[in-house]
Structure 1
């Protein structure tokens, strides 16, 4: 993986094109005047002492332009997949119980851990960088890979939701898997082209779409209230304590919702993949506070509207979020919500692509991946990493929607496409959850190392911090177990689901482990050269 001829490509004026299309900051200008190989070697020597080259390099060539508002918008695009509410409503009123448990046991502890690590190490790459500080190069790449691959699959997932919304508008559209696959591939191409444009311009679009998403949430809440005020009965019973309770019965229980709902809160650390581009340190804690609050309230409002107007059965389809507004506020308002939510998922494909491209970029800068993947284009965006991710997403989409449904004749093409899609998404989500566990493991390790910054920059009282670490770790483990034992689709039995998901998840982890060994040996070899 060593490509010595590429070392000079990190020079600011040659990173896929000149940076002089935009004003350079003084620090970036000073970098552009230095010999690139000399600059990189100096940074690699710092890495031997515990400082990664990406920590000092990124702030010099990528502008610090992200405000608290920008980070809140990005947080919403990453975490707030509102269609998760259509899954939660299957539990009736108990959905609120699970949302609350997931928030208290996993989401809020994850937010606290993310904020603490982000304040201690406000660098590009978030989990990759933090794990390097705690466990070293091998585990940092392992954690980053476990976070990265699911992010690529979420790009496909967002495209699939858009397909569902178009089918809701017209059931005759995109009925065959091959049509859906080609459409999603087209979306991947368009959104990837948008992701490599100037970051400040793209961020303005992200902020706009995040605002539209909040408008959709407010309309959903208004729809639920108007429905009740007009004298319509609630489609869901809330009057009995048993309606809100956790049921453990194997056949009629709702325990399967714990894993689904808890893992809906994944992704708290992803906006800080751009941690080296944040304008002010306080934006790290502020965006997590406001972003988490909006996510919790947003999921609650969406679930309320679905349960009150549609009920547990009718509220389970993704397009139900539009249908309930149609019923309560009229077709026009329903179309407004459809537009807002489709805009969200289109922009989510953009955000996931450029956010996870930062992981590839910093790994390339730190010599754990080929240096080509870290090159920036004229807009100071990691275009090569974004294009690579788009290619991976395209190949996976082609397999799920174009190849598998028509070559494996064990069921109808549509059902097989659904089965393969759910299996891949669930297994990758488990790997993502495994990587999220490093948020808590890193803090434990840093405490054991008596890292001075953990004490100097602690943002919450010690009992709250360590209580969050304990609670979040346990909740993450239980959510993983729950996802293993309960199928996400009626097309696959729980027994078959357990076997398939276990094997695939184990395979992902093995690939991550082997890849980490190669990446770590490459980095050690580079360091030994110096």
Structure 2
């Protein structure tokens, strides 16, 4: 009797069943929305966007329409069809099979360490703004970064409910910060001051394609500001109610867009495009100028605590990708070890170690070998270079949202329509616009500097070099991991 061959992609992953057996279903709509906000909303990106003047609104809205909303739509549809731990890794398995799911999952996971460093780096930048004589040496900055990373690892290893309390608290703090920043603009105008930005001039809103003096670099930055719609769904197997999977995407997407617009508007009203040169501290100085030093101190504390929790949230969420990889034997099974809190502790240790190694190289080795920048601007430059590299790598994996969506549709239209939650024209339009936006973001982030401290000529070398380095490390690491996983499985069988 002939055997019927079932394609690999049609077979469920072992992690789908295993996760629901061993991981407690804790996450609610509020918790998922809070995690979504912490993962995506980096308020300091509003300061860099403000460097484009009124055109910042053009890019924020353009990025939302062409990239962020299509990504949220594709994420919601795929998560509704496959509500399992690992998000994009799992979705790609059911679409393209094991090889591609591992590749895409690795591209999706790889930015985690860079983002953890850059988020920690934001705390350094804010501390330097508060006290210019603090952390003047690169090694001092690196030491504080390592302390933040170690703290994040400890907190991320606690039970999910405790981590969720931290994330919820951080969201309340960022609400306070956005509120104080947001009211600073209107109060500035109501007290008789003129706006630092001429919003009435249509040319200020236009896209300027000049590579040297234009604002085309903002599209890559805005794309970064909207990356990560799938990250909370790395924990989809730990959701208490299935409706939370789609509901949090709606509320989270809405809040992220509104918060970016509010923060950017106040910066442009009080400081204008010069806010971009100052970086994240311009948020604090804006509040200090309008409301007083007490309010600025509150905003500084809120943002710094928020960014420390961002590191915890990234460490916590991305550890699930390594966890499911170990459970499915794509990575050494030992990486999926759960501690007494039912958290993948070894995965968190690995991610933290990778971030610390990057910190040691960036802050304690390179500055003392090459005279690349002043210590005062080093933290800001490393933040932007690492974030641009994140955009390049992450945009590649994000494009697979739309590839997966269209392949699922053409492979079995009847089955697709049964699980469809959006009108077909919305999915088609998103699958056309989304990948194009990913491509533009990759090109833009590679060739156009985000900050005036680094010229375009040096920017593409630094960003491209870091991206290639990360991809090379990832390739070597993935080859070692898969061979080690195969060897461990073989040992068990023998």
**TM-score, scaled relative to structure 1:** 0.87
The 2-side partners of 1:488 and 1:49 are apart by: 43
Are the counterparts in 1 of residues 49 and 276 from structure 2 also a CA contact under 8 Å?
A: no
Shift of 1:429: 2.5
Aligned partner of 1:101 in structure 2 is 62
Q: Deviations over 1:303-345 (max 9, x none)?
A: 0110001111135421111111112222222222112111110
Aligned partner of 2:168 in structure 1 is 207
Q: 1:516 to 1:392 in 2, by over 3 A?
A: closer
Aligned partner of 1:132 in structure 2 is 93
Q: Deviations over 1:89-117 (max 9, x none)?
A: 01111100000000000000000000001
Aligned partner of 1:397 in structure 2 is 359
The 2-side partners of 1:511 and 1:138 are apart by: 18
Q: Deviations over 1:232-264 (max 9, x none)?
A: 110111011111111122333111111111221
1:221 aligns with 2:221: no
Aligned residues: 486
Aligned partner of 1:40 in structure 2 is none
Are the counterparts in 1 of residues 36 and 252 from structure 2 also a CA contact under 8 Å?
A: yes
Aligned partner of 2:303 in structure 1 is 341
Aligned partner of 1:280 in structure 2 is 241
Runs of 4+ with >6 A deviation: 45-48, 520-525, 527-530
1:62 aligns with 2:62: no
Shift of 1:46: 12
Shift of 1:444: 1.6
Are the counterparts in 1 of residues 121 and 379 from structure 2 also a CA contact under 8 Å?
A: no
Q: Deviations over 1:380-399 (max 9, x none)?
A: 11111111111111111111
Are the counterparts in 1 of residues 127 and 134 from structure 2 also a CA contact under 8 Å?
A: yes
The 1-side partners of 2:111 and 2:141 are apart by: 20
Structure 1: gaps (5+ residues): 1-44
The 2-side partners of 1:221 and 1:158 are apart by: 22
Are the counterparts in 1 of residues 38 and 313 from structure 2 also a CA contact under 8 Å?
A: yes
SS of residue matched to 1:144:
helix
- RMSD after superposition: 2.4
The 2-side partners of 1:343 and 1:479 are apart by: 30
Are the counterparts in 2 of residues 138 and 517 from structure 1 also a CA contact under 8 Å?
A: no
1:408-427 equivalence runs, <5 A: 408-409=370-371, 412=374, 422-427=384-389
1:387 aligns with 2:349: yes
Are the counterparts in 2 of residues 46 and 52 from structure 1 also a CA contact under 8 Å?
A: no
Greater alpha carbon shift after TM alignment, 501-510 vs 362-371: 501-510
The 1-side partners of 2:169 and 2:485 are apart by: 41
1:366 to 328, 343, 348: 328
Shift of 1:56: 0.2
**TM-score, scaled relative to structure 2:** 0.93
Q: Deviations over 1:129-168 (max 9, x none)?
A: 1111111111111111112121111111111100111112
Aligned partner of 2:3 in structure 1 is none
Greater alpha carbon shift after TM alignment, 56-65 vs 410-419: 410-419
SS of residue matched to 2:366:
helix
2:403 to 434, 441, 450: 441
The 1-side partners of 2:453 and 2:191 are apart by: 39
Aligned partner of 2:292 in structure 1 is 330
Aligned partner of 2:196 in structure 1 is 235
Shift of 1:401: 0.6
The 1-side partners of 2:262 and 2:173 are apart by: 15
Aligned partner of 1:262 in structure 2 is 223
Are the counterparts in 2 of residues 404 and 417 from structure 1 also a CA contact under 8 Å?
A: no
